[in-house]
Amino acid sequence: MLKLGVNIDHVATLREARYRGLKRGEPDPVAAARMCVQAGAHGITAHLREDRRHIVDRDVVALRAAVEVRFNLEMAIVPEIVDIALLVKPDVVCLVPERRQEVTTEGGLDVAAHLDPIRRAVDRLNRGGIEVSLFVAPDLAQIEASSLTGTQFVELHAGAFAEEFHDAKNRERELDRLTDAARLARSLGLRVNGGHGLNYENLRALHRVPFLEELNIGHSIVSRAVFDGLDRSVKEMLALMEGYDGEPLPK
């Protein structure tokens, strides 16, 4: 079964728009996380950025205490944030780029160029009992590099697919790239997640990509929740994910 991790960062974005610097405020990302889990989400994802532009440290602690399903903490490879992860103990950490020089041309982590620091971070986190995922473009060189780091997962960056979704030819190309990347990752012993830019319109097309375990989706769900509420928005996304069989569907 394809699992849904709901990224609740943008609930915190809305709170910070009014209550930045205060220790309270609405909407509360922890309450949102609870609601997503009640609606059937398999996991909760949050990104503790170095600039704390949405999720802040107290959210991460409160989320860990409140979330009984899989808690995925996204972060850059910054020693201070890795230390926080080792204290808070999310189930999994997804390492993402935050600085321009850490990014591949396609937006994922440039693993090939940062092999040593990534390896060290993966090792520290694994030794702390935390699984690791690397957010990478569907680029075969990045997948190969990922397999040298000791990471358990890669999360395939679906942003290019999402951007090209309305152009049939480019969409097919991006789906092929995601498929090839998923196949290679699998053959190298990596588990495969996906995320970024997925929404109610493009989700079904992604069923063609094999070996996906979990999708991390935030913006589209939180946006829809403004009109429909979180419960309905999560359930509608889960319905679109139903029927995924992990193998390519006929084109």
CB-based burial label for 112 (10 Å; 0-12, 13-18, 19+): middle
Tell me if 177 sits within 8 A of 208, measured CB to CB: no
- Long-range contact set of residues 172-179: C-beta below 8 Å, sequence gap at least 24: 172/251, 174/138, 175/205, 175/206, 175/208, 175/209, 177/138, 177/139, 178/138, 178/206, 178/209, 179/208, 179/209, 179/210, 179/248
Query: Least distance (Å) from ligand PXP to the CB of residue 250?
Result: 27
218 binds ligand PXP (CB under 6 A): yes
74 binds ligand PXP (CB under 6 A): yes
Task: Let me know if 47 is a catalytic residue.
Answer: yes
Query: Least distance (Å) from ligand PXP to the CB of residue 33?
Result: 15
CA distance 100 to 80: 19
H or E stretch covering 146: helix 140-146
Task: Let me know if 54 is a catalytic residue.
Answer: no
Task: Count the site residues for ligand PXP by CB under 6 A.
Answer: 17
Q: Report 159-198 residues binding ligand PXP (CB under 6 A).
A: 195-198
Q: Report 6-65 residues binding ligand PXP (CB under 6 A).
A: 7, 9, 47
Task: Let me know if 164 is a catalytic residue.
Answer: no
Q: Report 102-161 residues binding ligand PXP (CB under 6 A).
A: 135, 155
Supply the angle between the helices 79-88 and 115-127 in degrees, to the nearest 10. 20
214 binds ligand PXP (CB under 6 A): no
Which of 10, 74, 157, 207 is catalytic? The answer is 74
CA distance 171 to 17: 35
Query: Least distance (Å) from ligand PXP to the CB of residue 251?
Result: 25
Which of 102, 196, 207, 214 is catalytic? The answer is 196
Query: Least distance (Å) from ligand PXP to the CB of residue 155?
Result: 5
Could you list the residues that contact ligand PXP (CB under 6 A)?
7, 9, 47, 74, 94, 96, 135, 155, 195-198, 216-220
